[in-house]
Structure 1
Amino acid sequence: MKFLVVGLGSMGKRRIRNLKQLGHTDVIGFDTRGDRCKEANEKYQISAFTDISNALKENPNAMVISTPPDLHMKYAKVAIKNKVHFFTEASVVQDDMEEIIRELKDSDIIGLPSCTMRYHPIVVSVNNILKANKIGKPLAFLYHSGQYLPDWHPWEDYRKFYVSKRETGACREIVPFELIWLTSTFGKISNVFGLKTKVSKLEADIDDIYSVLLEFQNGIRGNLTVDVIARFPYRQLKILGEDGVIFADWSDRTIGYYTKEAGWKNTKIDDGGIEKNYIHGDGPYVEEMSMFVKSIKGEVEQPYTFEDDYNILKILESIEKSSDVGSKQKIIN
């Protein structure tokens, strides 16, 4: 199977590594920037093109779209037109997504949006602990995901990076990125109340903190904070159950649960090798690429769809509306 990686920035390079880790050596790349094509060629020994039409002449079977979010649907359309299976990174822009959903319904093409966090070993462990009823019925959770924006890509000026644009801003991107796994773990959301604002001196036209109260249909209450001002990269979770507590810390790579009878039981997790200048291990991303390949081959049911992704982005829209109008918003499922 031949793969075309579209966009050779940090995520595109990660996806090349992922595919090679899975044993897929027939990989080519595309980026409008010649310097990135040169880097990919030198670092990963792949052919890379600055013209998408030339890349498509190589007859790829699948595309991995790792461009900025506002270009995802543009290249998804290219993939569908050329009858090529495709994967997209985390989305934050709804434009043309409904069209992609319609076109995929009448096609044999696999179009898979990213749901990386579902494969993270901490999330897998959380789900296992809950399913085993170790802390009883979950009642509420507190979740914080934050990292100082200039530290996202220390090798480039954050002000020239898509995460500093209002439509594709860093917090706007991470809120749905987290909601994908939160809704998978805790269920459907019924109501949201959000507050978003800018509190820092970052030179970017974005809201740098989102504070969100989530009400789930099953009665669970969640408190979600996403920011790009934390000078230490936090991702921490507390789940309060009737009989105990779960605590997870992604930076420390630990997860544990507490009950009065047994005390704390803690486990260190391994999320795969960490590339230089990256914070998170490649493990969940490799698993995600594996699921993409298995979906194409028909070995597994597609784990996530663009319809699912569209519904997540509608929740983001409701969170932002809640902040703008100052009232709780009902989620229509």
Structure 2
Amino acid sequence: MIENIHKPVILVVGLGSIGKRHVKNLRALFPDAYIVVCRHAATEHDQDFVTQYIDKVVYDLNEAIALKPMAAVLCNPAVYHVSVAWQLAKNGIHLFIEKPLSNTLTDVETLITICQEKKLVLMVGYNLRFSKTLNRARELIKSGAIGDILSVQVNTGQYLPDWRPEVDYRKTVSAQQKMGGGVLLELSHELDYVCWLLGKPVEVFARLISSGSLEIDVEDNADVFLTFEKNLMVNIHLDMLQRTACRMCKVVGALGILIWDGVEDRLVVESEKQEFSQSFCGAEDRNEMYGQEIKHFFDSISNGCPAMVTGVDALESLKIVLAAKKSNQIREVVAL
């Protein structure tokens, strides 16, 4: 039986840690919305959360679609993103998909085309684009405040068992090849924001390693070298091994340097001759980025404007990930 619901219906697919974060933010943003969660099985430990924030839980996607949601937030494993999104898009449902867009290129362009034809918003959850300090960094780079960019070094890592300490990390999506895990896809935020800051790279060389220390079947250590126009080289290090969380980006320009600390949400800009020095701090609450991100998604639906991170943007990041994996396999530079 199809329910007669006189409220806007919002669907969330998946109820892991990121799914719960989005549900809480949706409830804060839309107190009167009818929030539906589609998940594969019930668990006792989150029953209190379900009671507090969710109006209905279903275990079949067709049942969720029958409730006629106006938008869906996909927080399921990456290997299922495209197949689930395709069914939702066919039914005219706007899509917010957690990163990465997928773990393969299969049917990704078809999904993008369907959304374009049906005039649906397709946004992907690269939330670092909503960091105030990273936005300030982008403004400074684009304005030429530190001159021509000469080199960029990115270092991001955190010990995988600390990501979600309440669960066995070996059973998480991040740790399993079959679920689209591995450090490249899990930390593809760095690939997205580097391209957002600097444009599209022309080639990639990468080395990926599984250290063995975590007992997982995916790479936990990666070095990716991106080459941009004008011989700009960007070195991106990603790992699941650092006991002290690190998310740093150093941009060296002809007139100065810019250092972004994503953990502390702090940006420092200095000239080489110490002619100027500036420091910027971002939000104290890390959740603010996620709240702004989901609000932007619904604003894009309302005003018909493109989302901050489109399906096309996310596809470019996915192509870099797959090219990096190919480079690692053949031990050669791969053109993008």
Q: TM-score, normalised by structure 1?
A: 0.90
Q: How big is the shift at 1:24? A: 4.7
CA distance in 2, matches of 1:132, 1:102: 34
Specify the alignment match of 2:5 in structure 1. Answer: none
Q: Does 1:59 align with 2:68?
A: yes
Offset of residue 238 of structure 1: 0.8
Which of the residues 30, 45, 49 maps onto 2:38?
30
Contact 1:175–1:316 (8 Å) recurs in 2: no
Structure 1 position 135, deviation (Å): 1.5
Correspondence 1:13-28 to 2 at 5 A:
13-26=20-33, 27-28=35-36
- Residue matched to 2:307: 302
CA contact (8 A) 1:149 1:170 kept: no
DSSP 3-state at the match of 2:195:
helix
Out of 8, 13, 18, the position equivalent to 1:11 is: 18
Structure 2 contact 249–260 (Cα < 8 Å) conserved: yes
Greater CA drift, 32-41 or 71-80: 32-41
Match of 1:93 among 103, 106, 114: 103
**Distance between the aligned counterparts of 1:254 and 1:311, measured in 2?**
27
2:137 to 126, 135, 145: 126
User: Which deviates more, 134-143 or 92-101?
Assistant: 92-101
Classify 1:216/1:146 alpha carbon distance in 2 versus 1 (closer, same or farther; 3 Å).
Answer: same
Task: Please give the residue correspondences for 1:47-196 in structure 2 after superposition, counting only pairs within 5 Å.
Answer: 47-91=56-100, 92-94=102-104, 95-167=106-178, 168-196=180-208
Amino acid at match of 2:63: N
- Is contact 2:115-2:122 (8 Å) kept? yes
Change (3 A) 1:311 1:268: closer
Partner of 2:3: none
Residue 58 to residue 271, structure 1, CA distance change in 2 (3 Å): farther
Moved more, 110-119 or 319-328: 110-119
* Structure 2 residue matching 1:322: 3-state secondary structure: helix
The alpha-carbon deviation at position 233 of structure 1 amounts to 1.1
Deviation for aligned residue 1:81: 2.6
RMSD: 1.9
Query: What letter is aligned with 1:6?
Result: V
In structure 1, the gaps of 5 or more residues are 273-280
Question: Which one-letter code corresponds to 2:314 in the other structure?
Answer: D
Dislocated runs of 4+, deviation >4 Å = none
Query: Distance between the aligned counterparts of 1:302 and 1:249, measured in 2?
Result: 25
2:213 to 196, 201, 205: 201
Call closer, same or farther: CA 1:300–1:158 in 2, change over 3 Å.
same
Structure 2 unaligned regions, length at least 5:
1-7
Identity, in percent, stands at: 25
CA distance in 2, matches of 1:264, 1:200: 43
Q: Which amino acid aligns with 1:212?
A: V
Q: Distance in 1 between matches of 2:267 and 2:82?
A: 36
Aligned to 1:277: none
**How many residues are matched?**
323
Q: Distance in 1 between matches of 2:303 and 2:192?
A: 23
Counterpart CA distance in 2 for 1:218 and 1:104 is: 35
Q: What is the rounded CA distance, in whole Å, between the counterparts of 1:308 and 1:144 in structure 2?
A: 22
Residue 198 (structure 1) shift: 1.4
Contact 2:13–2:19 (CA under 8 A) maintained in structure 1: yes
Q: Is the 8 A contact 1:200 1:229 kept in 2?
A: no
Classify the secondary structure of the residue corresponding to 1:42.
Answer: helix
